[in-house]
């Protein structure tokens, strides 16, 4: 396929996606029309809840189209392989959109006949036949396996590619050999991983250079964090992929609202990995509803007393700093405006349980929650009982009291895009294992990689991973420009759901061996399941963040 034909096919694909996006925009407008209170002109929460399924499906269509558009746009700067992969992803995305939209067409104002006409138009069918048919996908999969192509050519600059290669070696040589034991025995992450990770600057990717981090002082650099996270997650999600997450969220909160003294005290320690940290936001009865946090912080003569419970506080045992969201105001009607962040110091504790007792009788206790996967860091239930912290623990000091929710959100946006990178790294690991096994394993005298169905699976997996990677790169650039909040939510929604599919397919390609714990793909599968839950559960992200904003901003019909 010559260059002009590649460009023409890609332009046609983009044009068709834009047309479909316009239809989706019209659907959001219809949902807005149905959910607006006629008197106030504002969205009615009860009416929104009556349209949850429609909103959920529309949010996913938007995420899938956005990820695919990122890959198709970039393919125009590449060669034939990039075009074939991008258009394979495009075909899969449009098939998925059709499956999501047709069942809800009547509920969101889309005419079924109009939808069917769109998906059956000649130009669309021609592109799908050429690039998304069984034969086309099989040829692509065969090509990838035969040439042992595990990823598209890098689009990173020299410095970023060098950084990626460094952490790729670290994942291969240090993380991967220890990953299975950590997972099967539910061990703490050993110093053999933590110390060299710190020496490589792993913990400082999101902290400015003036505090000892790797990020330039004059501009943000989210892409470095994405690149490092992906490679660490490729080695192991539980043992390495999340090492950056907690210091990244803590650093964003400190940079957004911390005092000069707090920044000078904590950021250099976090960047160097001398202080490990955990983020304590979620409570047993609140889940993703951050504004309903109830853990109480009561002022004393010298500081604050914390009372209440937290849950799903990952890495709380080994951490020496907990970033805790607590309610500082008596008036519960203040909601999220009554919350503040605290920087709580504690000694590092190994194992699955710990208790910290203070001289005055205060206590902090933690118990690790047994989990299906994502082992190594351990997620803890925490109980604060009259636990005393000094006045200096209040993030931002008295001037920032009541602004904890905003500082938490500042960290979460970065957490979402980083979670997408974790998903990409996990998918990359699964793809590599699947391709290797398909080449080496034979059934009925024929290598698995020679079967059409396996070739198609690999082609789709490869396209999905490529879309996730490119979308996360694009969102990182947007965030560095001060934008990209919506896109960060979209890339998390797409990549985390995709990780479940890709790791499942990797298990299927392994057959019975895929179910054996001795094969890494079984770990990838159970690890992937957590991605759609933390840093914003899939349903909450789709409904309360993505769909809510798109409905709010939709044009009035």
| CATH, domain range 277-397 | 2.40.110.10
Closest to 476 (Cα-Cα) out of 495, 491, 497: 491
Sign of CA dihedral 234, 235, 239, 242: negative
pTM for this one?
A: 0.93
Contact 108, 33 (CB under 8 A): no
Convert the pLDDT of each residue in 34-70 to its tens digit. 999 888 888 989 999 999 999 999 999 999 999 999 9
Contact 98, 23 (CB under 8 A): no
- Can you give the pLDDT at residue 212? 94
Architecture of domain 3-132: Up-down Bundle (1.20)
Closest to 23 (Cα-Cα) out of 117, 89, 131: 117
Higher model confidence: residue 382 or residue 374?
382
- Can you give the pLDDT at residue 11? 96
Structure tokens, 22: 């316009």
Structure tokens, 465: 């991973």
Contact 190, 240 (CB under 8 A): no
Interatomic CA distance for residues 23 and 267, integer angstroms: 47
Instruction: Please state, rounded to an integer, the average pLDDT across all residues of the chain.
Output: 93
Residue 239, Cβ density class (10 Å: 0-12 exposed, 13-18 middle, ≥19 buried):
buried
Closest to 127 (Cα-Cα) out of 98, 95, 87, 96: 87
What residue spans define the domains of the chain? 3-132, 277-397
Catalytic status, residue 386? no
Exposure string (b/e) for 127-166, b if CB count within 10 Å is 16 or more? bbeebbeeebbbbbbbbbbeeeeeebeeebeeebeebbee
Residue 287's pLDDT band, with cuts at 50, 70 and 90, is: low
- Can you give the pLDDT at residue 557? 57
Interatomic CA distance for residues 39 and 49, integer angstroms: 19
CA 66 to chain centre: 15
User: Facing residues of 306 across strands?
Assistant: 297, 387
Convert the pLDDT of each residue in 512-544 to its tens digit. 999 998 899 999 999 999 999 887 789 999 999
Average pLDDT over residues 414-426: 91
Contact 178, 192 (CB under 8 A): yes
Contact 231, 429 (CB under 8 A): no
CA 460 to chain centre: 20
Residue 3's pLDDT band, with cuts at 50, 70 and 90, is: confident
Share of the chain above pLDDT 90, in %: 80
Q: Which of 216-225, 388-397, 497-506 is predicted least confidently?
A: 216-225
Per-residue pLDDT at 18 exceeds 90 = yes
Average pLDDT over residues 213-234: 92
- Can you give the pLDDT at residue 285? 77
Catalytic residue among 57, 481, 535, 538: 535
- Can you give the pLDDT at residue 336? 79
- Can you give the pLDDT at residue 422? 95
Interatomic CA distance for residues 110 and 76, integer angstroms: 32
């Amino acid at each position: 396929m010559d260059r002009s034909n590649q460009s023409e096919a890609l332009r046609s694909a983009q044009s068709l996606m834009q047309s479909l996006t316009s239809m989706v925009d019209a659907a959001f407008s219809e949902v807005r029309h149905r959910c607006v209170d006629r008197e106030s002109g504002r969205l009615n929460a009860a009416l929104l809840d009556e349209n949850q399924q429609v909103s959920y499906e529309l949010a996913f269509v938007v995420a899938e189209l956005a990820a695919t558009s990122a890959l198709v746009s970039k393919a125009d700067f590449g060669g034939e392989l990039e075009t074939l992969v991008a258009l394979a992803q495009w075909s899969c995305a449009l098939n998925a959109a059709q499956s999501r939209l047709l069942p809800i067409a009547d509920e969101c104002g889309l005419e079924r006949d109009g939808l069917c006409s769109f998906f059956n138009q000649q130009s669309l069918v021609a592109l799908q036949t050429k690039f998304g048919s069984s034969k086309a996908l099989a040829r692509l999969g065969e090509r990838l396996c035969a040439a042992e192509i595990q990823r598209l050519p890098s689009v990173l600059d020299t410095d970023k590619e060098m950084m990626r290669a460094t952490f790729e070696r670290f994942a291969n040589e240090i993380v991967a050999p220890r990953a299975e034991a950590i997972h099967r025995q539910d061990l703490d992450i050993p110093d053999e991983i933590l110390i060299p990770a710190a020496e490589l600057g792993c913990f400082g990717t999101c902290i400015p250079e003036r505090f000892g981090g790797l990020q330039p002082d004059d501009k943000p650099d989210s892409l470095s964090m994405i690149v490092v996270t992906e490679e660490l997650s490729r080695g192991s999600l539980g043992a390495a992929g999340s090492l950056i997450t907690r210091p990244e969220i803590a650093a964003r909160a400190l940079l957004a609202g911390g005092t000069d003294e707090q920044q000078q005290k904590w950021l250099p320690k976090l960047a160097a990995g001398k202080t490990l940290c955990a983020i304590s936001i979620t409570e047993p009865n609140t889940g993703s509803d951050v504004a309903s946090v109830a853990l109480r912080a009561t002022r004393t003569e010298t500081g604050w007393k914390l009372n209440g419970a937290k849950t799903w506080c990952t890495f709380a045992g080994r951490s020496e700093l907990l970033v805790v969201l607590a309610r500082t105001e008596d008036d519960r009607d203040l909601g999220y405006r009554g919350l503040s962040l605290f920087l709580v110091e504690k000694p590092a504790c190994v194992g699955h349980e710990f208790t910290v007792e203070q001289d005055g009788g205060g206590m902090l206790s933690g118990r690790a929650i047994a989990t299906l996967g994502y082992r190594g860091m351990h997620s803890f239930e925490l109980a604060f009982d009259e636990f005393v912290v000094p006045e200096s623990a209040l993030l931002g000091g008295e001037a920032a009291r009541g602004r904890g929710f905003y500082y938490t959100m500042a960290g979460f946006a970065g957490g979402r895009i980083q979670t997408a990178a974790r998903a990409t790294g996990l998918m990359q690991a699964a793809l590599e294992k699947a391709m290797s096994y398909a080449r080496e394993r034979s059934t009925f005298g024929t290598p698995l990689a020679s079967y059409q169905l396996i070739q198609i699976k690999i082609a789709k997996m490869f396209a999905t991973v490529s879309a996730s990677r490119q979308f996360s790169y694009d969102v990182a650039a947007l965030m560095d420009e001060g934008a990209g909040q919506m896109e960060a939510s979209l890339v998390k929604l797409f990549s985390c759901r995709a990780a479940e599919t890709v790791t499942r397919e990797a298990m299927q390609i392994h057959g019975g061996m895929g179910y054996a714990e001795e094969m890494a793909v079984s770990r990838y599968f159970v690890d992937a399941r957590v991605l759609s839950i933390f840093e914003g559960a899939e349903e909450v992200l789709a409904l309360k963040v993505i769909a809510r904003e798109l409905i709010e901003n939709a044009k009035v019909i």
